[in-house]
């Protein structure tokens, strides 16, 4: 085989034409061959590992191929050039390109007594039966790593091909994130531009069809004004050079480059007025995100109207109503659930036929996932904490015979216990579960176990899911194999006459309650227009603000999925079962004062805790300083223990357990 581009003639053979080299260490990509040759080899994967295959070596089963990795990290399954040249010679020598000879060989392989070819086909000159080799030959020095791989079955070949394909796809995606193309940059700029008031630099806000109630004159005026904005300024007059320069100065405000300002001025025209006096860019992005996530049915303000003062004031009022309603429905769901459902809340007489007993019997389940900081698709931990009210089991019928029940747990994915851990950008508190013992869980069983857990808990009550997501996204839970898209994001979805806790429609359905949106209702600031619908604080910060003044409830070892799940449940119950919303807001504003010194939190495991507590402006908790029902008290033992405020280190961290392969669960020393 010869390739172009060489400056010297290879050793061992003299070439008549300069610029060619005799290649003895070439390789050809596996798929380049199989995409064409598979038409004659059916099934080709079985043929490769068959004992009669020409590349089969005596004393070995299967076939040996090669795996090459280039300098970019991309993998390729390869044939060696020697293998392909031998196959080319074998096909030529056996006349396998001639259908008559193939038929003759087939007849010879038939059992005795069957019809066989009596006369062999004529042997031609053989000049036209040489199969061409691929022209994409890669030399050995093209790869940084080259190794041979032996396949004993077609399943192994197919599995490796799938792994190579997924690896290369993931590598390409990472390279695009590190070195984005111009089209990707333009797409991201267009997304930011679409969330900015005005006609837009590129696509602008989504176009909306004019209302049917609008008269024909208004439609024509709307169309003419839209066309004039592109070429005219105020009053419909053409632009002058001085006017364009003024517009550029007007739009060159916070976080806008001169290049972006010129492009914005060229397309905005008369609408390029300073907007810093109305609303900041960050708030406009929050408002646009609200409308995209919650829809017009909740807030009812089109994106194209965000630039006007009236629309901004209207949007602020809508956001205030939305956060208050969100808090109200979450509070009512907890109250109705604690009373045993809607039937117990209505206090109907025994003679009256009340609503079905299942309405309002809610399960409040907090789920938390800890992923690997290097690859967020890899799940390291799963934590859960559940709260519900069930019929009393001890025969006491006080409070309607309903008692509160709590459970929690923490799973560690055993597949990644030794090889994958956090610690660079995220805290590594996988073994610091404060509320019991961590259980090992195989990655292949993760989705099945979590789904069964939710099913078992839901049979005891309803099906609400608690999350804390500052970006109002719940994609992390989808990594557990859960159908997150089928969950309702509000306790009273759009179009429902009644909320989930008071309607038969809510029975058997799952509703998301986001504690980040609940806390946004508490930190509501009327001076920020429009106020964000979701807090930007992490769960750890919110927990410190809620319980920072109570040492026994202050969060410890945040980042552990089991701890965060229980903290999330405690934050939810403290918000919706505490003082009224307006009192919580006032307490929150009073608490936001600079601290004279950082609060001293007793931490028996302070040497093991690598993560510092978040710096929050907080002097007193915004919830009453009363006895907590937090599960930490039940786990750490009674008050008679002398091992410190949090209990002994052995009782606090129960450790990690693993399966030794014989069915025995042992503690990891």
Asked whether residue 472 falls in the same domain as residue 396, the answer is yes
For the sheet with 364-371, list strands across it.
Answer: 439-441, 402-413, 379-391, 364-371, 464-467, 511-514
**Are 568 and 483 members of one domain?**
yes
Q: DSSP for 184-246?
A: HHHHHHHHHHHTSSSS-SSS-SPP-PPPTTS-HHHHHHHHHHHHHTTTB-GGGPBP-HHHHHH
pLDDT value for 604: 40
61 and 143 together in one domain: yes
Output 281 or 140, whichever has higher pLDDT.
Answer: 140
Do 246 and 391 fall within a single domain? no
pLDDT in tens, 465-506: 667 666 545 778 888 888 888 888 888 887 788 888 888 888
Asked whether residue 475 is assigned to any structural domain, the reply reads: yes
Looking at the structure, tell me whether residues 203 and 150 fall in a common domain: no
| 167 and 213 within one domain | no
Cα 241 → chain centroid:
49
pLDDT reported for residue 210: 53
Q: What is the pLDDT of residue 164?
A: 92
Q: pLDDT (tens digit, 9 = 90+) per residue, 415-465?
A: 998 889 998 888 999 999 999 899 999 999 999 999 999 888 888 775 566
CA dist list (Å): 540 to 43, 568, 612, 648: 57, 9, 11, 23
Across 285-296, average pLDDT: 38
Question: Token digits for 386?
Answer: 């559940």
Hey, which of 17-26, 92-101, 206-215 has the most confident mean pLDDT? 92-101
User: For 17-56, how does the pLDDT look when each residue is reduced to its tens digit (9 = 90+)?
Assistant: 566 677 777 887 777 666 665 555 555 567 778 888 888 8
Task: Decide which of 243, 261, 295 is a domain's last residue.
Answer: 295
pLDDT attached to residue 158: 86
Give whichever of 386-400, 518-532, 543-557, 626-640 has the largest mean pLDDT.
543-557
* Structural domain contains residue 165: yes
Shared-domain flag, residues 419 and 552: yes
Do 210 and 156 have their domain in common?
Answer: no
How confident is residue 278, by pLDDT bands cut at 50, 70 and 90?
A: very low
How many structural domains does the chain have? 3
- Boundaries of domain holding 288: 193-295
- pTM of model > 0.85: no
Same domain, 347 and 263: no
At 527 the pLDDT is 62
The string of pLDDT tens digits covering residues 303-349 is: 344 344 455 555 555 556 777 888 888 888 888 888 887 777 776 55
Residue 121 lies in a domain: no
- Do 373 and 515 lie in one domain? The reply is yes
Q: Are residues 137 and 277 in the same domain?
A: no
Statement to judge: residues 373 and 265 lie in one domain: no
């Amino acid at each position: 085989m010869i390739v172009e581009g060489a400056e010297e003639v290879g050793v061992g053979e003299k070439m008549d034409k300069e610029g060619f080299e005799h290649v003895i260490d070439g390789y050809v990509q596996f798929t380049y061959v199989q995409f064409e040759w598979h038409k004659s080899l059916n099934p080709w994967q079985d043929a490769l590992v068959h004992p009669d295959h020409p590349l089969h070596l005596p004393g070995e089963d299967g076939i040996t191929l090669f795996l090459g990795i280039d300098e970019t990290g991309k993998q390729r399954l390869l044939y060696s050039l020697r293998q392909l040249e031998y196959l080319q010679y074998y096909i030529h020598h056996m006349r396998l390109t001639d259908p008559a000879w193939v038929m003759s060989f087939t007849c010879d392989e038939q059992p005795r007594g069957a019809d066989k070819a009596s006369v062999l086909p004529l042997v031609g000159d053989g000049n036209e039966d040489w199969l061409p080799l691929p022209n994409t030959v890669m030399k050995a020095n093209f790869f940084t790593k080259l190794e041979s791989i032996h396949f004993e079955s077609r399943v192994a070949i197919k599995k490796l091909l799938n792994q190579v394909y997924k690896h290369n796809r993931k590598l390409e995606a990472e390279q695009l994130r590190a070195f984005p193309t111009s089209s990707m940059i333009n797409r991201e700029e267009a997304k930011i531009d679409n969330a900015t008031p005005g006609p837009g630099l590129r696509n602008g806000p989504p176009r909306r069809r004019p209302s049917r109630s609008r008269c024909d004159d208004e439609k024509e005026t709307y169309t003419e004004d839209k066309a004039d904005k592109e070429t005219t300024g105020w009053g419909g007059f053409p632009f002058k050079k001085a006017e364009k320069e003024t517009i550029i100065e007007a739009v060159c405000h916070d976080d806008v480059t001169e290049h972006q300002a010129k492009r914005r001025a060229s397309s905005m025209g008369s609408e390029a007025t300073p907007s810093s006096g109305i609303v900041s860019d960050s708030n406009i992005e929050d408002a646009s995100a609200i409308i995209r996530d919650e829809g017009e049915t909740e807030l009812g303000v089109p994106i194209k109207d965000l630039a006007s003062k009236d629309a901004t004031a209207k949007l602020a009022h809508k956001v205030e109503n939305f956060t208050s309603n969100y808090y109200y429905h979450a509070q009512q769901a907890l109250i109705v659930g604690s009373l045993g459902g809607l039937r117990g809340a209505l206090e109907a007489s025994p003679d009256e036929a009340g609503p079905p007993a299942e309405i309002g019997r809610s399960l409040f389940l907090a789920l938390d996932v800890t992923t690997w900081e290097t690859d967020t698709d890899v799940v390291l931990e799963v934590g859960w904490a559940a709260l519900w009210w069930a019929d009393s089991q001890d025969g006491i019928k006080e409070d309607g015979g309903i008692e509160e029940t709590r459970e929690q747990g923490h799973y560690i994915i055993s597949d990644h216990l030794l090889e994958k851990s956090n610690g660079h950008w995220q805290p590594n508190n996988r073994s610091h579960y404060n509320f019991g013992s961590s259980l090992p869980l195989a990655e292949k069983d993760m989705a099945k176990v979590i789904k069964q857990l939710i099913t078992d808990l839901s049979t005891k009550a309803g099906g609400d899911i608690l999350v804390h997501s500052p970006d109002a996204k719940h994609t992390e839970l989808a990594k557990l194999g859960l159908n997150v898209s089928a969950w309702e994001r509000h306790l009273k979805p759009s179009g429902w006459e009644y909320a989930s806790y008071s309607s038969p429609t809510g029975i058997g359905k799952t509703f998301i309650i986001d504690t980040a949106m609940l806390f946004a209702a508490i930190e509501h600031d009327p001076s920020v227009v429009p106020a964000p619908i979701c807090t930007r604080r992490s769960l750890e910060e919110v927990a410190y603000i809620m319980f920072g003044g109570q040492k026994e409830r202050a969060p410890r070892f945040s980042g552990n999925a089991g701890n965060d799940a229980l903290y999330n449940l405690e934050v939810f119950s403290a918000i919706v079962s505490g003082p009224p919303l307006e009192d919580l807001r006032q307490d929150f504003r009073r608490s936001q004062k600079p601290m004279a010194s950082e609060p001293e939190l007793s931490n028996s495991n302070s040497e093991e805790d690598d993560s510092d507590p978040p710096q929050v402006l907080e002097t007193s908790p915004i919830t009453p300083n009363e006895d907590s029902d937090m599960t930490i008290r039940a786990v750490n033992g009674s008050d008679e223990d002398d091992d410190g405020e949090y209990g002994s280190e052995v009782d606090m961290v129960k450790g990690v357990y693993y399966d030794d392969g014989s069915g025995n669960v042992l503690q990891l020393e």
